[in-house]
């Protein structure tokens, strides 16, 4: 008898759970005419000498014309600057420049291996 009641309650629970309401996301359709041409401008930068981090970016766009630049402090000591633009369907056109002289530390093999002491 208990098994029949348990089976009946299980079937009722499944039937109730199966009739959950459905939610449809509203459908939005936008066109570029509603908002006008794309226009924006932004910039950001990080310069932290103790950690060696020096990088940033600036970009602006007016309709189909985008231009900007970014800088990255490379691990060899040089500062890489990339100036770029996109004019309509021209694609991404970049001009890459490097400031400074590349410096490379001694290789790992030329250093005396000195592991940290283990404690405990």
State whether the Cα torsion 100-102-108-109 is positive or negative. Answer: negative
**Could you report the per-residue pLDDT of 65-107, keeping only the tens digit for each?**
999 999 999 888 899 999 999 998 888 999 999 999 988 876 5
- Enter the pTM of the model: 0.57
Place of tokens 């005396």: 112
The Cα–Cα gap between 48 and 26 comes to 46
Contact partners, residue 8, CB within 8 Å, separation at least 6: none
pLDDT band at 31 (very low <50, low <70, confident <90, very high): low
- Residue 77's pLDDT is 86
Domain ranges of the chain: 37-104
Place of tokens 């040089």: 78
- Residue 95's pLDDT is 97
User: Which of residues 36 and 44 earns the better pLDDT score?
Assistant: 44
Count of CB atoms within 10 A of residue 116's CB? 5
- Residue 34's pLDDT is 67
């Amino acid at each position: 008898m208990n098994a029949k009641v348990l089976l009946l309650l299980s079937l009722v629970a499944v039937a109730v759970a199966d009739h959950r309401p459905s939610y449809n996301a509203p459908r939005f359709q936008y066109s570029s005419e509603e908002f006008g041409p794309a226009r924006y401008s932004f910039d950001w930068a990080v310069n932290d000498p103790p950690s060696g981090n020096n990088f940033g970016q600036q970009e602006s766009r007016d309709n189909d014309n985008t231009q900007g630049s970014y800088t990255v402090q490379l691990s060899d000591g040089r500062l890489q600057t990339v100036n770029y633009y996109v004019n309509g369907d021209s694609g991404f056109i970049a001009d890459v420049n490097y400031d400074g002289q590349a410096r490379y530390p001694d290789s790992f093999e030329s250093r005396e291996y000195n592991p940290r002491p283990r404690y405990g």
